[in-house]
């Protein structure tokens, strides 16, 4: 059975999260560079097909270390991605959930 447009829209959101997380995890980041990294991540993922919007928020307080920077992980950021695939809008988010950066579909509209 072929996937439905709704299923394909959700898959597209997952692809964007996989690219975002695995491309940028481990990037050196500080409270001073967080805003520019947020914009770079948003711009990079926005280039992908069917991507309507990307919002990345890096928590600058989570970046404070004795060395002045840290490596970016899921615990440092909250992300929202909106995908539009064949008139199906998917809103997906990544945020911490019980100590884990959980990526989930928040809503699908037709």
pLDDT at 67: 87
Q: Which tens digits make up the pLDDT trace of 5-17? A: 999 999 999 999 9
Q: 5-109: CATH homologous superfamily?
A: 7,8-dihydroneopterin aldolase (MptD) (3.30.1300.20)
Which helix or strand (DSSP H or E) is residue 8 part of?
Answer: helix 5-24
7 three-state secondary structure: helix
Q: Domain coordinates of the chain in residue numbers?
A: 5-109
Asked if the model's pLDDT at residue 42 lies above 90, the reply is yes
Structure tokens at 63: 């970046």
Q: Which tens digits make up the pLDDT trace of 51-99? A: 999 999 999 888 877 888 999 999 999 999 999 999 999 999 999 999 9
pTM of the model: 0.93
């Amino acid at each position: 059975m072929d996937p439905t447009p709704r299923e394909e829209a959700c898959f597209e959101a997952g692809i964007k999260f996989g690219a975002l997380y695995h491309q940028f995890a481990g990037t050196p980041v500080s409270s001073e560079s967080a805003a520019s990294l947020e914009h770079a991540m948003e711009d990079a993922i926005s280039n992908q097909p069917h991507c309507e919007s990307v919002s990345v928020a890096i928590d600058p307080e989570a970046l404070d270390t004795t060395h002045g920077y840290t490596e970016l992980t899921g615990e440092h950021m909250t992300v929202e991605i909106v995908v539009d695939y064949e008139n199906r809008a998917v809103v997906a988010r990544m945020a911490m959930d019980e100590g884990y950066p959980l990526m989930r579909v928040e809503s699908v509209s037709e």
